[in-house]
Structure 1
Amino acid sequence: METEKKVITNPGGEYSVVLIPNDMIESLKEKFGNDVLWIYDEESQELTLIKKPQSYTDALSGLGAEMWKQGEGGTEFIRREREQWDD
């Protein structure tokens, strides 16, 4: 797959546009379907593509369950986290 990477930057330099080749888009559609979430991490400057879940509730169900089972439990964890918040 030989493609040319093109990057276009606006005059103010506030953002960049990366053109993704059509064959790559078609490959992503085959893998994920048409419902894809594009998530950009500012800190790492990485773009992540994930398949959009049919149900966010089902996808997030049980998230953090390990935290509630650890040593002091989730309530203590939340208390410590809140103590670190700025007023």
Structure 2
Amino acid sequence: MGRDKVGKPRRERPAGETHEPTTPHPNWPESHVRVGLTGDDAEECVKVTIHGAEHYLHATTARELHRMLEKNLDRYNVIAASAGVPGV
């Protein structure tokens, strides 16, 4: 590992990269993604699990993630429609 620099906060390692499996797992979508309330923490109140990686989010972060996903899926649907592919 590298040496820590004085006065600089230690950087956390980024989360690993995940991709959709080539063949869907049984019990889709729960086998791929789950969302729930943590119930025990008012700060990070939303738990998102994607392919086993757990992410604890503040409600405002979860709302912004929702907006970003919706915006990008809307853009995807326009592209898919122009290619004659079903949208989501």
| TM-score relative to the length of structure 1 | 0.30
Structure with the larger helix share: 1
Larger radius of gyration: 1
TM-score for both structures, normalised by structure 2: 0.30
